[in-house]
Amino acid sequence: MSMRGRQAIDLRKFLEDEESMIERDIRREEADWNFINSLNPRLMWAVKLFIERGDLRLAQHMSGLDLEDFIEILRSAKVPVFITVIKDP
């Protein structure tokens, strides 16, 4: 792979990581931590996993709930489920 191709891949990964960090920060700031910490341990860790990683299916699977019920827990915890990051051109 040429150096130019390698730089393009690294830049794309950096931009994806930056977007993930923005989304994570939004989830952290919006979350109702008192509610989250009052959940049973399995749900609490699943919600925290979603906040940190943004992997809805993995967190839902860990929770033991079906997807709709897990999303309802996230809404109760004030955690945004879907975030769109818009960047200036």
The predicted-structure confidence for 12-39, as pLDDT tens digits, reads as follows: 555 568 888 888 999 999 999 999 999 9
pLDDT at 19: 82
For 83, the token pair is 């975030």
Torsional sign, CA 31, 32, 38, 43: negative
Q: What is the largest CA-CA distance in the chain?
A: 52
Residue type for 50, please?
A: F
**Global confidence as pTM:** 0.77
